Each structure stands twice: as structure tokens, then as C-alpha cells.
Chains A and B, each alone.
Chain A
Amino acid sequence: MADFLQLLIAGLATGAIYALAAIGFTLLWQTSQTINFAQGEFVMLPAFFALVAMHWFGLPFWLSALIAIGCAVILLGLVFKLVIVDPLIRQGVLPLVISTIAVGLLLKDGAKEAYSAEAHRFPSIFPDRLVDVLGVKISLAQLGVLAVALAAIAALQWFLAATSTGRQMQATAQNPGVARILGVRVERMVMLTFVLNAALAAVASLLISPIYLVKFSNGETLGLAAFVAAIVGGFNQVRGAIAGGLLVGVIDNLAGAYSGLIGVSSSYRQAVPLALLVLVILFRPQGLLGRREERSV
């Protein structure tokens, strides 16, 4: 039982990070029908910004973290939207999808060439201490990750539901045409989703790097997990992405520990979240919490 709780909490902490990345997926999908195959790299990169600020310019960690978020918002939000998405969305969905694959390659190999191919240690915002709850060893760092991620998600939900800008964003996501008629500045709202996506990715990056270490190739696993999480939860709902992220994190851990019980080798651990994805597509294609989209004529 203690083991199970241990896995559950570890899974939730990792899952919260997946959720942050998956939310970005759904936001971009809703507002601009963009499937961003570089999402994993978006989470990988901001930690490198912080490392550069710390090690090349000798800045303190807190400032570096802020700079990382700032750089992410500018480069992965504004620049990505203006330089990649805007010119390419006009060419159709396929060219844009292809381009995001290329952007992913560019960021991954760029980080490797510009910084290094090594893994790097990353300072944790949280103290490196353990608390023992009912025989479950929980690190404060893990709790911190979970808390910050959930707080970021709650803030986002509040922003979307309770502020005027947030509601305009939702209107834009649901029906840009109608939103425009209602006086929403659609272009600005779309831009805002890109900025939000980048900011969430940066937060995820700062949270996960103390555990994952900073490495150019981290985006591969993260991107795939976030992608699976978004589909499992529901591609068209923010809450779907949250549930999907947490679920994928937990399932992955449980699969690692208990796959032997159903006669599956742990070397197939990676297949378990993917099997979940296929099941969802077969039986609930709109995702666990997603809205059904009626086929349009």
C-alpha cells in the first residue's frame, strides 16, 4: 500500500509536468489548429536559457529563472507565432505540422551545438528534504512541483473563466468567426495563447529540470508524453489535458512497477500509456473529458 502511494505521488508530480505541456498543446490546437510537434523541445529549452544566464553571465538563480521565462515567452511564444506559425498556417495544416517537426529538430540540435551534449544539474527551488507520511517518503521538491504546477493550472483556469480577456480567449477558441463579430480582437487572443503556452512550458521546464537534469534530448520523452496526455484527456479541453497529464504520469509509474503482475515485461513500460491512447481513440475518440465535435458538412 505504501508502495502504491509512493508511486501515485511520484506519478502525480511527473504527471503535473506533462499536464502543463499538454495544456499548451490543447490551447494551440483550439485557437489555431496547430499540432505542435516541438512541444517537448519547448519544455526542454527554457532550462538552457537559465543555465546560460547563470553560467555565462553569472547571474543568480532567481533572476536566471525569470530571464528563462522571459526568453521563452519571446522566442517560443511571440517569435514562434510570428515567424513560423503565421506564414505557415496560410499554406495549410500539413506544412505547418511538418515545420513544427523541423522546429523541434532545430531546437534540439541547436541546444546541443550551442551549449553541450552533456546533462547538466539544475538548482531546485525547493529544499532537498524528505517528509515521511504513513511510510511514504515524499520529497519536498516533489510536493513543490505538484503544488506549483497545480497552482499554475488553477490560475490558468481562473484566468480563462473569470477574466474578460480569458473569456475572450475561450470565445476565440470555440469559434473565431463569432468571436470577431462580438468584437473580440481575435488576432490578439491567438497571440496570447502562444504566449501562455510558452510561459507554461517555461514553468514546466524550471520545475522538471532539477529532477530530469537539463539535457538537449529531454524533449523527446516529454513531448511524446504530453502528446499522449492531450489526446487521452481530450484535445479540445484544458481540463482534459490536465486529467490526461496526471493520468499518464501515474499510469507510467504503475506500469513500471506492476506490469509483471499481468505478465508483461517492464521493458514494455513505454507501451502502456500508448495502449491507453489507442483504447481512448477506439472507444472515446473525443478524449476522456473532451467535447464531441459533430462532423461538419
Chain B
Amino acid sequence: MRSGLAWAAVAVAVLALALAPLGLGRYDVYILTLWLVTAVAALGVNLIVGYAGQETLAQAAFLGIGAYTSALLAKAGVPFGLAFFAAGGISFAIGLAIGFPALRVQKHYLAFVTLAFSVFVWLVIRNEEWLTGGVMGLKDIERPSLFGASLRPHRLFFWFVLAIAAALTFAMWWLVRSPWGRAFTALRENPVRAESLGVNVRRYTLLAFAIGSAYGGFAGALYAPLVEFIDPAPFALGPSLLFLLMVVVGGSGSFAGPFVGAAVAVLLPEWLRFAESYYLLIYAALVILMMAFCPTGLVGLAGRLWSLRRRPARMAEDEGARALGEAKP
């Protein structure tokens, strides 16, 4: 009964999204597309941070790996489908390669290694001019074609991205409700106990990190044809920190969190346009308030308001405190 309702809500949301561009201008459609692409990368961060309880400071770097992989392959004449899976696959493999040594040691070390990796990727993109175009970037990245029709028009490209994002979202949903998802939750809540129950904590953590990173790669493969231009700036350490911020603001560990967080990150600068360069200040202040009063993020806040109406307030608070309070090392 409840799940039937949830399915209906999802169907309505997807339908609404599919129809949205009909009433919107070119720039608005661009922003919506950017939101979807950002949300895909954020889904990956949420898997790593929210479900598996690790910290990643390299999602923007994986976005970059995906973007350059797909752009370079597209320029070499490789079909988009292949380039797309190559972008995700390479990110997955690199995720395994850097996660493997980092996860031998304590919790925060994955964060440290990804931080170093993030800077390193940025340096490679900037320095290897022969491959990546260096600081001048790669121009004129073609949008893919489908059945012979170019997806250059902004609405067609939006629908294309929507379809891919929906598929990736479904795959993520499948993953987190499978036994793997249960294992992820277990290793976040209590890795020692999980290990004693036969959960290979290192392997699951590594897989969560690699799959989350692959989502960064997939998002990158969509980002390049969306913007039609890439350069090193959006793949630096700073944007990686912003990915982490966005997922926590949305609600880490909740399935809708990344979508909400990405919406805030993409749309807030638009809403705060009147504030010109002050919007970063406002955003930062909001994040701090959010963390202090509702660490479960906007989704948690919405849930709390909802249950306040329906249940005694005390229970809702307990729930909120429980959600992130136990993420201690």
C-alpha cells in the first residue's frame, strides 16, 4: 500500500520532469539539465558518505575524469554510449585502485588520500596540454546523436539526460535495497560488528567508494556534452568539497537527499542572484545553521516537519538525533 503510493509519486515526479522543459526557456532547461547531472554525481557521494559512512573529497575529480574521457573519445569518433560506459568504468577502476590502499588503514584516511588524488587529477588535466588542452580546455564538444537525430537542441538533450539519470537512479535504488545496501548500512553503523557477521567490511567499503566514484564518472560524461566545453576549473578540490556539502545539506543517507542537495547547489546561486557575490556567504551560513539544527539535511527537516504534524514531537527528535549522531568513528 505504502510502496504503491511511493511508486505513484515517483511516476508523477518523472512525468512532471519530462514535461517541465515545454514551459521553460533555454537557460532554464540548461539549469534543469545541470541539476540532473549534478544529482547523478551527488548520488555517488551519498552512497559513499551517507550509506557506507566514508568521506570522499574527490567527486569533482571523478567528474573530470568522466568528462575528459567522454569528450576525448567523442572527438576520436567513438559513439557516445561507449564513451559513457568508458567514463564510468575508468572511474570505477581508479576508485578501486586508490581506495584499496587507503582503506587498509583508519577511517579518515580515505578522505586524506582522495584529497591528494583530487589535486593530482587537477594538475594532470592542467599540465598535459597535448591531451586535455590544458588551461584553455576542450572546445566544441559535440552532443551525441540518437537514431541519427542530433541531441543538440536543449530540450532533446534534457530528455536524453533525464532518461540516463532515471536509469542510474533506478540502479542506485536497486543497489541500496539489495543485500549490498544492507551491508553498507551495517558497516556505517558498526563496522566491527558487521565484520564479525561475515561482512567483508573492506571489500564492501571499497565497492561503495568505487561505485560512488563511477557515478561521478557517469555524471562527467553527461557534463561535457551539456556544457560543450570543459577546462580544469570545475574539477578542482574546491568543487569536490562543495559536492560533500551539497549531499549533507540535502540529507546524507536518504535516497532523495542528493536530488535536494543538488537542487540547492544549482538553484541557490540563481535565487540569490540579487546578492551577487554574497551568495557564497549566504550559502555557507545556511550550511552551518543546517548542520547545527538539522544534521539530517533538508530531507530530514521535511520528514521532521511532516511527523511533527502526525506524531508526538519527541519521537521525531529522537529519530533526527539518531540519524547522524552515530556516524562517529
Contacts and interface: CB of A to CB of B under 8 A. Distances in A.
- Do chains A and B directly touch (beta carbons under 8 Å) in the complex? yes
Contacts of A228: 116
Interface string B69-113: 000000000000000000000000000000001101110110011
A136 interface: no
Q: Which of A33, A267, A281, A282 is most buried by chain B, counting CB atoms within 10 A of its CB?
A: A281
Given A94-B55, A281-B105, A285-B109, A274 B119 contact: yes
A276 to B, nearest CB: 9
A92 B112 contact: no
A106 interface: yes
Contacts of B280: 105, 109
Interface in B104-136: 104-106, 108-109, 112-113, 115-116, 119-120, 123, 126-127
Contact of A91 (B101, B244, B287, B292): B292
B288 A99 contact: yes
Contacts, number: 119
A247 interface: no
Interface string B220-243: 000000000000000001100100
Nearest to A231: B112
A270 B238 CA distance: 16
Contact of A281 (B102, B324, B325, B327): B102
Given A105-B284, A281-B101, A96 B291 contact: yes
Give the interface centre of A113, A270, A274 by most chain B CB atoms within 10 Å. A274
A102 B284 contact: yes
Contacts of A293: 106
Given A109-B281, A113-B281, A231-B112, A98 B123 contact: no
A224 interface: yes
Interface stretch (A14-22, A82-90, A157-165, A174-182): A82-90
Given A109-B278, A275-B116, A281-B113, 4 more contacts: A99-B287, A109-B280, A224-B237, A297-B192
Interface of B: 49, 55, 101-102, 104-106, 108-109, 112-113, 115-116, 119-120, 123, 126-127, 192, 237-238, 241, 244-245, 248, 252, 277-278, 280-281, 283-285, 287-288, 291-292, 295, 324-329
